[in-house]
Structure 1
Amino acid sequence: MDDALPVVVIGAGPQGLAAAAHLIERGMPVVVLEAGATPAAAVAEWGHVRLFSDWSELVDAASARLLDATGWTPPPSGYPTGAQWIGRYLAPLADALGDRVRYGARVVGVSRSGRDRLVDAGRGDQPFTVHVRPTGGDDYRLAARAVIDASGTWETPNPAGADGLPALGERAAADRLSYRIPDFRDRSGFEGRHTVVVGSGHSALTAVLALARMARRDPSTTVTWALRRASARKAFGGGEADELPARGALGIRAKEFVDAGLVSLVTGFRVERVTDAGDGVVLVAEDGRHLAADRAVVLTGFRPDLSFLSELRLELDSTLQAPVRIAAEVDPNVHSCGSVAATGAADLAHPEPGFFIVGAKSYGRAPTFLALTGYEQVRSVVADVAGDHEAARRVELVLPDTGVCGGAGLFDASGASRGGACCAPPPHPVSIIPTAPALS
């Protein structure tokens, strides 16, 4: 393989930019391809949302070293919004990377030069070919010695349909549905109206809290929180047991609003049909129950886009669509502890040598991905690409506990857990619907 070829990084979000910083620090050429017009374009879409990670957990070490040379001042302690994360850190980092970052460059395919997925002969000796579709231009190809996919999952949210497919009528009612945390600073679309939030992750919690605050000021504003599970117990998170206090506080406040009657909680509601009612929307559950509202906010998680990787040989878990060696660690169906271990190059490797999926996309459909996880991933992956296998094997991160015991309760159980104790496997297989991923 020609060492003069660049490593191509897909996505100029937090992990993609960090990967580039690590590559530069090791003296390796890099090209970052970003589909959006700006760095961290996905983060910009939820720029109004405050993260539950402190600044100290949101800045990558190699990126900070690169920025130090520009006179950059590290942000003080605190919890930034997405927009502040960009303005104080991600945008300056992209500027420091200069023309290594190409905007409006969507990757539409990755393969091996002269080798489709079926060809074995000499496969690992051939460079990657990365097919790029620029905004307003003709497609082109880049040759690469390695490819790091940090494209995230933001563009592929899960639908409202409880079976993982769009509910009947969901596409036709799209104008009444939002798959993003709305910017509630524009209160006109919500005050004095009824909003249904579908989902049980941290994104859903954030939306429920914002709407509940509006309802507290204006009693004509009503909020319904629809959960697929028969019990809301895990939807409130780890509370005071969460080692990220701001994350735990989300669930504590949400429970307070539910208990105060500012939020109506509906459990066991699995959407089968969505009807556009003209001036509103009606969600119909599989059991026939109806929820009529002015609008619905669907925050049921995300899934990876694997379409442009169809010519690569990937080893993905059949359930999560995550690399098989990390799937059991993050799978909410079986994972029974509040802790998750850091992941490195060995965990993220595929049968296609030199190709890695990092960041939120590496978790497939699993929830609660932290920026810290991604920074450790790219540190290890870049070390592996550079041939520093000792550094790649080293673990330099211990992740904070969530305080939540998953994998120990039944999807249809309305009471307490009927499985094993926390951090012990339950005696029977369980089924838990993944929640929406965390924002930090």
Structure 2
Amino acid sequence: MVHSASWLKGRPLCQLSAWAPSGIQHKGEQGRPDPCPQPESAGPVSARKIRRLLSFQRYLHSSRVCRGVTPQNPLHFLDHDYTGQAKCMLEKVGSWNFDIFIFDRLTNGNSLINLTFHLFNHYGLIELFQLDMVKLRRFLVMVQEDYHRQNPYHNAVHAADVTQAMYCYLQEPKLSKSLTSCDILLGLLAAATHDLDHPGVNQPFLIKTNHYLAALYQNTSVLENHHWRSAVGLLRESRLFSHLPSEDGLNMERQLGSLILATDISRQNEYLSKFREHLDKEDLLLGNAGHRHFILQMALKCADICNPCRPWELSKQWSEKVTEEFFHQGDIEKKHKLEVSPLCDSQTNSVGKIQIDFMTYVVEPLFAEWARFSDTRLSQTMLGYLGLNKAGWSGMLQEQAGAAEETDLGAPSPTPSSAEETDSKVLPQGSKES
């Protein structure tokens, strides 16, 4: 389904939060528009038209280039053969202990570009689908740029982490023996773009602030629809699949959307129930294209929330980052006198409490079913780390509660005589005048 871009007319730039309309057909063979275009034979391109072609993130980047301002974090690429420590890490990209934070530093902040490009090469997708390497590189650069660097959690590093996890799942015996090259291509693309242009706030926030995206998608899977349409916009802008028959390209876009939409956490029980029903009936046939697609959906869902199943050192970092993002949203809500969303109030929540609840009610049920489907060493490793991490957070909460109790017990209670001698402004705890 192609949406008209007419609704964008007259909207302030601040509202164009990285929407790249899927219906726009971009001129030229270079894919991405020149940030400082020169007049063509058909006449100069207006600034407004250029703005519509760019997401908000890339518009800001292009504006700085036009003004002669050097980007704060210019893109640096590894050599083609991935020399040094980054190359060594990529040789172990299938390890569940892969540290995406270290890899991101080794690649100068370009973990998503280099990881995804490497996996495309690893699977031979460039040759199989006759992809133009320049277009592929350009597409990946635009994808990485459209993730908001300032988001503590929903940024390009998270996308790279999910892509690496997706690769681990694609390597599992049941999947590696049955998935087609098209399945693998879609799985990697969906992982890399699943949170594209995430604003750092959740769907309820967009709805209660009357954000135009909430209206556009009628309050249904608002963010996921936006991630999908943004990905489609970049695919068309880069012309990555322009050499394929149009019907094949449209079908690929639809399947990409089906995968990304499956990451909507509000539909978790719907997908989990369907997965459990298939496993109970033992009727999953991976020779069936529809069943393979469903398994890709479940794999992406697992990859998206696998942080609690990583080693403690990695899991703890992700837990702190996502909580930081939650609390930032809560601070915005308080500032504008909005009802604070669940999990977003730093006064009533903590990292440990949020994580324990998340593990208990969301992560454990999903990964238990995944282990039923794919009972491998990886699945048992993930469940093992999940148990250890949950115990780790529980222990930290108990320590904090014990320390707080000791503080309360250690505080001297004022005696009647001492209370009489205190200044009238200093009152005993519990005084009606306090």
Task: Give TM class, smaller chain.
Answer: under 0.3
Write 1 or 2 for the structure with the bigger share of strand.
1
| TM-score, structure 1 normalization | 0.25
Q: Which has the higher contact order (CA 8 A, sep 6+)?
A: 1
